[in-house]
Structure 1
Amino acid sequence: MTLAQLTAFLAAMEHGSFTAAARELGGAQASMSELVARLERELGATLFVRGGRRLVPTAAAIELQPHARRAVGAIDAGMDAVRSLSALEGGTCTFGVLRNAAYYDLADLVQRFHAQHPKVAVRLVGLNSALVAESIARGELEAGIVVLPVPEEGLAVRPLFRDEVLYASATRDPRGGPVSIDELAAASLVLYDAYAGWSDPTRRQLRERASLRGLRIEPAIEVEHVETALGLVASGSVDTIVSRSIAESPSFPAGVHVAPMDEPCFDTIALVQREGAHLSPATRAIASLAEQTLLSKLGDHEGRERMA
């Protein structure tokens, strides 16, 4: 059984004739017919009923088709992997990053990747993690870095590290100790990622905690960007929640204090791709660069814990 035989078989299955299969593959009709005939002899089974205007696949052909697709796909993936060992000479990289990527040392990810692989086209999408995960599940992006939890159906998820979620306020006494979910629900809050709303992973965690106590979290203000929210917090009119990575960044407002939750809360940062999908060499390369960048900085941040 050869790759040429399986390729001819799959083309004949798709197009219903050896003539159309030959047209797709750039060969002769007789050659396509002979390749399939050899395959039938090796298998000891008839794959097509011939004689009409279209080839009619038999039960044996229907049974063989998914295995043939996987075999041909695996060979193609292997050839791509070997070609990528020396250099990435083309192709397109589609990758998603969480909205606040700059706080996770990913601000210059595209610049560094492009310097290494200038012939690769890059499509980098920065959205709320819930939207990045949806785009990957739909096949619009190959992979991405997200905050969990997100809906995981159809996705392969590999957690990388946890980042503590903190309460941020300019008016709450920093000596007041941890913040309870009751205090959070009673506070006047500004929450960011307004477009994603309660599908945002961090918000989802806090809403579920409040719901278990019969409470609701109702923000006074919703904005899109964390920087806008922190500006309002610094004015003393509202409070918010942030990850420790944001709280420890140089741009964090000096007059804003943070406190942990009394029941510690964490964002889990993860690498996500479609389940069962083979990443292109370009996307594998940028995913590897993003992972290395994230994990190399863990020791610089208290409250960021690598996953096993």
Structure 2
Amino acid sequence: MTITQLTAFLAALEHGSFTAAAASLGMTQASVSELVARLERELDATLFVRGSRRLVPTAAAQELRPHAAQAVSAVQNGIDTIHSLASLDRGICTFGVLRNAAYYALADLAETFHHRHPNVRLRLVGINSAHVARSIARGELEAGLLVLPIDEDGLEVKPLFRDEVLYASSTRAAEGGPVTISEVAESKLVLYDAFAGWDDPTRRQLLERARLHGLTIEPSVEVEHVETALSLVAAGTADTIVSRSIAESEGFPPGIRTFPFAEPMHDTIALVQREGVLLSPATRKLAELAERMLSEALPEHAGRTPLR
């Protein structure tokens, strides 16, 4: 039994003839007649008494009607649902963004996407990249923009952009030049993303670099937000590290100077999703929008490089 047979049956029942049913379905009269005949053979029951002018439904046809209508309706509803998702008339989008997304021209991501697709439910989660990666691996988020490196297995990673990491201080001499990892290890530091701690990708790079030289990094102060860290740096309390995008933002405190590392260090921003899993149409569109907004708003120059 097929949906096509049931559709032909319902059309014949409604229109009273194979000719009229065929016209409504855009088929030939012979095709509709054969589909109903096959259905009758499968059911081992007569559904219509073939009269000279009109089909007369049997008791079996009347019994079959509600079940056939329900089956055809269920399939059509499924098709309509998929089509509506594809056209972004509805659906749900779950997407993760790196904690400091506002500094990467992504502050307007949700507003722009919602304006274009107002019927799509949007869940945009902004947490540390390490936690975004875990949420994607567990299936809690479909995809996300985050900073590498990450440890989670089973993820598909598409690097998009490299952003130089700088040393920030209000007390270091302007002519001090590039900063060595030895100087960082000896400095009084305030580091942000306290909850993620050394799982934070940028912190991890710093720690691994120190360990290669037999050094340790122990921050004097840990806070959650980069803005809090920068206020302490501006007050001369401690030094920190920031990406070039943060250092060049409008709200960056004017009294803080930034310095490159003697061995240049970069954050790599990547689009991440689970391996072998197709994104929903809504999430795919949001990922494309985020990638486009990122590339348009962050021009290419020294220390900041799009990855193609």
RMSD: 2.1
Number of the residue aligned with 2:227: 227
Query: Which has the greater radius of gyration?
Result: 2
Residue identity opposite 1:184 in structure 2? V
Residue identity opposite 1:306 in structure 2? P
Kept after mapping to 1: 8 A contact 2:234/2:253: yes
Map 1:77-92 to 2 at 5 A: 80=82, 87-92=87-92
Structure 1 distance, partners of 2:301, 2:103, is 11
Number of the residue aligned with 2:150: 150
Residue identity opposite 2:189 in structure 1? L
- SS of the residue corresponding to residue 215 of structure 2 reads coil
Structure 2 distance, partners of 1:129, 1:242, is 15
TM-score, normalization: structure 2? 0.73
Residue identity opposite 2:234 in structure 1? A
Number of the residue aligned with 2:104: 104
Number of the residue aligned with 2:297: 297
Q: CA deviation at 1:83?
A: 5.4
Q: CA deviation at 1:3?
A: 11
Structure 1 distance, partners of 2:301, 2:294, is 11
Q: CA deviation at 1:303?
A: 1.8
Residue identity opposite 1:217 in structure 2? I
TM-score, normalization: structure 1? 0.73
Number of the residue aligned with 1:257: 257
Kept after mapping to 2: 8 A contact 1:248/1:301: no
Residue identity opposite 2:212 in structure 1? L
Residue identity opposite 1:149 in structure 2? P
Structure 2 distance, partners of 1:172, 1:137, is 41
Q: 1:89 to 1:217 in 2, by over 3 A?
A: same
Structure 1 distance, partners of 2:294, 2:287, is 11
Number of the residue aligned with 1:214: 214
Q: 1:261 to 1:120 in 2, by over 3 A?
A: same
- SS of the residue corresponding to residue 89 of structure 1 reads coil
Runs of 4+ in 1 over 4 A off after TM superposition: 82-85
Kept after mapping to 1: 8 A contact 2:85/2:91: no
Q: CA deviation at 1:298?
A: 2.8
Number of the residue aligned with 2:306: 306
Number of the residue aligned with 1:198: 198
Q: CA deviation at 1:301?
A: 5.7
Residue identity opposite 1:216 in structure 2? T
Q: CA deviation at 1:111?
A: 0.6
Deviation per CA, 1:249-270, whole angstroms, max 9, x where unpaired? 0000000000000000000000
Deviation per CA, 1:126-164, whole angstroms, max 9, x where unpaired? 000000000000000000000000114110000001000
Structure 2 residue ranges without an equivalent (≥5): 5-38, 43-77
Q: CA deviation at 1:174?
A: 1.6
Structure 1 distance, partners of 2:194, 2:286, is 28
Deviation per CA, 1:206-236, whole angstroms, max 9, x where unpaired? 1001001110000000000000000000001
Structure 2 distance, partners of 1:3, 1:286, is 35
Kept after mapping to 1: 8 A contact 2:134/2:152: no
Residue 185 (structure 1) aligned with residue 185 (structure 2)? yes
Structure 2 distance, partners of 1:175, 1:270, is 34
- SS of the residue corresponding to residue 176 of structure 2 reads coil
Kept after mapping to 2: 8 A contact 1:245/1:301: no
Identical columns (%)? 64
Deviation per CA, 1:48-81, whole angstroms, max 9, x where unpaired? xxxxxxxxxxxxxxxxxxxxxxxxxxxx99x94x
What is the aligned length?
A: 235
- SS of the residue corresponding to residue 299 of structure 1 reads coil
Structure 1 residue ranges without an equivalent (≥5): 5-30, 35-75
Residue identity opposite 2:161 in structure 1? F
- SS of the residue corresponding to residue 288 of structure 1 reads helix
Residue identity opposite 1:283 in structure 2? T
